[in-house]
Structure 1
């Protein structure tokens, strides 16, 4: 059986690096893996960690760089698109960039240039495609985004559904988990909560904004299962939209309470505030918790509880400090 060629678009990001780690851990496995990056030069830690995976500079806005993947790596069997401008406030300030990066026109055009449309596109979307007016959104619910980030991701989903034949769209919630091989500059949610509570100062958290945070290893295994499923399928047709959230609907207060409990921090440091009391420079949907029944039934997975995800995240952090 031929090896599957996988290209990870946005390999330097949080999910991208965790996917590379998973493929590297399979010791060659059944895949040839390449990744794209926009930041240059690539961090040494990343190059040292994944010396066997070719890296291609690609500009998603213009599509520059895709042609060299075709030439040097060949037509991919699977492309996982994790590249995005994903900080809602930044998207709000620069809507043009948000639209041109998050709506993957150049990527879809590149994939459409291949014969037989035989490449599977696994595209990372977001829970922010939902309006946030109820609990436990289902995949078939209307997508009415309330900010530029969400709107760009809705537009991306529409583009893929209209222009491409083979796809799986994963609407991911907040992703929790350990730091990446090449550490990211942005705060990771659990690590940040842990560090502020550790200082012993009172911290404000929203009590009226709900999400279903997903543990990174679950998101990785969902992606790998989709690839495996695609490889063994006869007709190579997939048109799938899945809510990729964890099993718990939680407010920020509840998330912080779990971190405090796992780490033995003083829970009275957690101050409850309403989202209406803070101007974040972007409208944020109130409740975009998701029903993940379809995910569980389709891929036969049992997602990690938030508490276990927190425990695993913080355990791996303490190990990496000891090493």
Structure 2
């Protein structure tokens, strides 16, 4: 069997780097040709040094500029993992046009459909923010009623993919947390941020009435890998929308309390406040916890508990 080609769109971001790392670790048992795209700047040297055999391509998702080079130098991909997004809700609120043009992967899908004899599996990252946030443990067939531009752009992306693609998996991910990447990303990582403020002895406010099912990043990567392998080895087309969250519904306060407990920080540093007390410039859904029964049943993957994931994350960080 010829080596399959896997393209990671948004390979320099947080999830993208973790996906690249995992694919590099399995090259001995499941060898693939790997390429990744980047946009905001050249790929960091640390990343290029870590994965010297992975081909980098500069691609603009808004216009599709750069995909032609992928076709010529890499070839039609068998699997495409789309990790690229404008994912800061406030940034999306301030520039809805940019949110739509980046988060709805029209240039990517149009490029894939233009390739001859290509039947790529598109694995696309969506979000728990497609849900309205008025109840607990949303299921995939619950109506998507997003309350902000970010969520709306992701719903539009899901609709576009389901209409245009015959072979896809849409992963509605919750907040991802885990170790820092090979080339550190500029955005603040949730557990490391909590650890940082509490380690300095700063009293910090956390919301007691905003609930999520945070998911350990390596579990998201395991889902991507399982879907990729299934398509590569079994050649079975899929049309899947699945919640990818952790097993625990936790508030921001509970997230902070878990970090404090594992690290031994004083819990009185955690000040519980209502999400309604802060204007973040964007509406945020109150409870978008997700039911992950379908994930466990379909792929046989059971994400680790929030506490275990935090333990694994902090074990990689040096205590400041």
TM-score > 0.5 by shorter chain: yes
Q: How far apart, CA to CA, are the structure 2 residues paired with 1:133 and 1:246? A: 19
Tell me if the contact between 2:172 and 2:244 (Cα under 8 Å) persists in the aligned partners: yes
User: Secondary structure at the residue paired with 1:311?
Assistant: helix
Residue by residue, what CA displacement relative to the aligned partner does 1:3-23 show, whole Å, maximum 9, x if unpaired?
111000000000000011111
Q: Secondary structure at the match of 1:111?
A: helix
Partner of 1:61: 62
The CA distance in 1 between the partners of 2:315 and 2:233, in whole Å, is 36
Q: Distance in 1 between matches of 2:136 and 2:150?
A: 20
- Hey, what does 1:16 align to over in structure 2? 16
SS of the equivalent of 2:265 reads coil
1:41 maps to 2:42: yes
Deviation at 1:69, TM superposition (A): 0.5
Moved more, 287-296 or 33-42: 33-42
Higher mean Cα deviation, 116-125 or 83-92?
116-125
TM-score, length-scaled by structure 1: 0.97
Do residues 184 (structure 1) and 204 (structure 2) align?
A: no
Hey, what's the Cα distance between the residues in 2 that align with 1:117 and 1:166?
11
CA contact (8 A) 2:174 2:245 kept: yes
Q: Displacement, 1:233? A: 2.3
Query: Any idea what SS the aligned residue of 1:85 has?
Result: coil
For 1:131, the equivalent position in structure 2 comes to 132
Is 1:194 the equivalent of 2:195? yes
Instruction: Return the offset for 1:232.
Output: 2.3
Displacement, 1:73?
A: 0.4
Spell out structure 1 runs of 4+ moving beyond 6 A: none
Q: CA deviation at 1:113?
A: 1.0
Gaps of at least 5 residues in structure 2 are: none
- C-alpha RMSD of matched pairs (Å): 1.2
Secondary structure (helix, strand or coil) at the match of 1:258 reads helix
Give the drift of 1:116.
4.6
Instruction: Measure the CA separation in 2 of the matches of 1:179 and 1:36.
Output: 20
Partner of 2:259: 259
Partner in structure 1 of residue 209 of structure 2: 208
